[in-house]
A and B are shown apart, each in its own frame.
Chain A
Amino acid sequence: MELTKQNGQEQIEFPGEIHPTAGGGIIVSSFDGLINWARSNSLWPLTFATSCCGIEMMSTASSKYDFSRFGFEVARASPRQADVIIIAGTIVNKMGPVLKRLYDQMADPKYVIAMGACAISGGPFFYNTYSVVKGADHIIPVDVYIPGCPPRPEALLHALITLQEKIKSGLTREQIREESKG
């Protein structure tokens, strides 16, 4: 093994040689694109409604707004069958471990939407409370935030479409964060 210096940091060179298959990169990357497109169009949400925002989530599922137009209609009660968890409502200290466990039980790839002011930061329950978690992102990572108390169904639809675009771009959470900084 040889040590080389790159940008002032010591790096270990990979032992051996890599022979890339001719044209292999194109097939794999376009296959990834196909998978991401398929994933983004059949996201199954977990019915996780703790409070008021759950009612707006029900409104979004019902006849007037109808989120099945975008492939979300199969709301699952079991985390093992769900792809996206919509945190609709306040998370309190007693609920925190339950949320973490639900998230751990979901199969990869999994996505998180924080719906409403409570799930973003504690919202109206930020000051003078002893029991509210000040933002669900203290417990699990969040992909899309929806402001509002509660947000309108259109806002939830917009968040779902944003999540679809994020998945289609094929980037990880960290990469997206880096991009938005730069």
Chain B
Amino acid sequence: MYTETQVIKETKEGELVINMGPQHPATHGVLHLVITLDGETIKKIEPHLGYIHRSIEKMSESLNYRQFIYVTSRMDYLSAHINNLACAMNVEKAMQIEVPKRASVIRVLMSELTRIASHELWLGAMAMDLGAFTPFFYTFRERELITDIMEETCGARLTMNYIVPGGLMYDLHPDFQQKVKAFVKQFKQKVTEFEDLVTNNVIFQARTKGVGILSREDAISYGCSGPVARASGVSCDIRKIYPYEGYDTVEFDEVLDTAGDSFARYIIRVKEMNQSIRIIEQLIDNIPEGDTQAKMKAVIKPPKGEFYTRVETARGELGVYIVSEGGMTPYRVKYRSPGFSNLSALDHMARGSKIGDLMATMGTLDLVIPDIDR
């Protein structure tokens, strides 16, 4: 924490230090930024973390391999399915278990629905940060359809815990296919509304174009991933580079841009939603019949060793690293969360810009603070 004397010692004459957060509507959680200003120009940003540090990694060491997965839904709650998937894949890799084909396809479908829901929420919240209130209601209208689908099948709207080691908790709801098809049909009609409201909006373009530029080299050296890195031209989609769960059998494009500004990051996410719809359309009629759960022992005891899996969440690359000593609980669990690396680039991106532009830069980073603090 900054003490008052430290602040006075470190600031030069004419500089102003302000605290943004931990209670601030645009930080989407409890992020604390110490911003050094010269007039209105940002000199330095120092993020302070730990306001939602729930010791999830330490907690996982005392839970067994079936139990620790449910905590990860609370980590990056906007892509809960994909977090669960990463952990389940890790345990399956350790136990060398083949997941049934039906479970694989459903996992991909659920992941892509989650990705759309996450991007929609981001779009509404980011537009609200920039002063546009209407897109929030439009995007939530579509997002509610996805949460309804999730609720029918998984029993929860947000923290699903549906994907477990060896497959799925239970089979799909009979209405699943029909509901998803109805959603896809409606989404395709309504996505043009977002474009009219936001993309072609002159004020929105003026506030995001050329703001918060991140070059390709910087994106790589800061370890950025996901839409943030792809907007700077770094090809980093895990679904393409290291395909998992049959992503290599479906057709979709990795969306890339070279501008690296806030507008590019916005465009990438909108295009990614369309790609997710493409994946869903290919799979929804081709869900194979069969089991949803591979045969596993009640108590999972992976062999001694270290295991690492990576997946593409809505925010970027999530890595799960588990050290097993051969017991019932993991010896050590470490998560490589996308938000943490993306946040570290914020200081570099915002330096020299005006404080008003910080909202656009931070909004398009799509930070989820519990994912950063864990």
The residue in chain A whose Cβ has the minimal distance to the Cβ of B141 is A63
- Is B29 touching A49 in the complex (CB atoms < 8 A)? yes
B 216-248 contacts with A by CB, 8 A: none
B 28-84 contacts with A by CB, 8 A: 28-30, 50-55, 58-59, 61-63, 70-71, 74, 77-78
Q: Tell me if B352 counts as interface (CB < 8 A to partner A).
A: no
CB-defined contacts of A63 to chain B, threshold 8 Å: 137-138, 140-141, 144
Nearest Cβ distance between residue B61 and chain A, in whole angstroms?
Answer: 8
Nearest Cβ distance between residue B80 and chain A, in whole angstroms?
Answer: 9
- Is A51 touching B62 in the complex (CB atoms < 8 A)? no
CA distance A108 to B182 in the complex (A): 48
Q: Tell me if B157 counts as interface (CB < 8 A to partner A).
A: yes
Q: Tell me if A52 counts as interface (CB < 8 A to partner B).
A: yes
A94 with B50, Cβ < 8 A, contacts A52-B158, A63-B140 known: yes
- Is B144 touching A59 in the complex (CB atoms < 8 A)? yes
CB-defined contacts of A94 to chain B, threshold 8 Å: 50-51, 53
A51 with B141, Cβ < 8 A, contacts A98-B23, A130-B55, A131-B55 known: no
The number of chain A residues with a CB under 8 A from chain B is 34
Nearest Cβ distance between residue B354 and chain A, in whole angstroms?
Answer: 20
User: Mask for A59-84, Cβ within 8 A of B = 1, else 0?
Assistant: 10011100000000000010100000
CB-defined contacts of B70 to chain A, threshold 8 Å: 124
Q: Tell me if B147 counts as interface (CB < 8 A to partner A).
A: yes
- Is B144 touching A54 in the complex (CB atoms < 8 A)? no
Q: Tell me if A132 counts as interface (CB < 8 A to partner B).
A: yes
CB-defined contacts of B158 to chain A, threshold 8 Å: 52, 55-56, 150
Q: Tell me if A125 counts as interface (CB < 8 A to partner B).
A: yes
CB-defined contacts of A56 to chain B, threshold 8 Å: 157-158
- Is B52 touching A124 in the complex (CB atoms < 8 A)? no
A128 with B62, Cβ < 8 A, contacts A51-B77, A52-B158, A52-B370 known: yes
A124 with B74, Cβ < 8 A, contacts A52-B159, A92-B54, A98-B22 known: yes
Q: Tell me if A89 counts as interface (CB < 8 A to partner B).
A: yes
A95 with B54, Cβ < 8 A, contacts A51-B77, A59-B144 known: no
Nearest Cβ distance between residue B16 and chain A, in whole angstroms?
Answer: 20
- Is B24 touching A58 in the complex (CB atoms < 8 A)? no
Option from A95, A127, A128 in Cβ contact (under 8 Å) with B22: A95
CA distance A131 to B121 in the complex (A): 29
CB-defined contacts of B58 to chain A, threshold 8 Å: 128-130
- Is A90 touching B52 in the complex (CB atoms < 8 A)? yes
- Is B74 touching A92 in the complex (CB atoms < 8 A)? no
CB-defined contacts of A62 to chain B, threshold 8 Å: 124, 136-137, 140-141, 144
CB-defined contacts of A132 to chain B, threshold 8 Å: 54-55
A59 with B54, Cβ < 8 A, contacts A79-B23, A125-B59 known: no
CA distance A63 to B136 in the complex (A): 9
The residue in chain A whose Cβ has the minimal distance to the Cβ of B148 is A64
The residue in chain B whose Cβ has the minimal distance to the Cβ of A78 is B23
CA distance A64 to B147 in the complex (A): 12
CA distance A58 to B140 in the complex (A): 9
CB-defined contacts of B147 to chain A, threshold 8 Å: 59
- Is B25 touching A47 in the complex (CB atoms < 8 A)? yes
Q: Tell me if A102 counts as interface (CB < 8 A to partner B).
A: yes
A-binding residues in B (CB < 8 A): 22-25, 28-30, 50-55, 58-59, 61-63, 70-71, 74, 77-78, 121, 124-125, 136-138, 140-141, 143-144, 147, 157-159, 369-370
Query: What are some 5 contacts across the A-B interface (CB < 8 A)?
Result: A47-B25, A50-B51, A94-B51, A124-B74, A129-B59
Given contacts A52-B159, A90-B370, 12 further A-B contacts (CB under 8 A): A47-B25, A51-B74, A52-B370, A54-B28, A55-B121, A56-B158, A58-B125, A62-B137, A63-B137, A77-B25, A92-B52, A129-B58
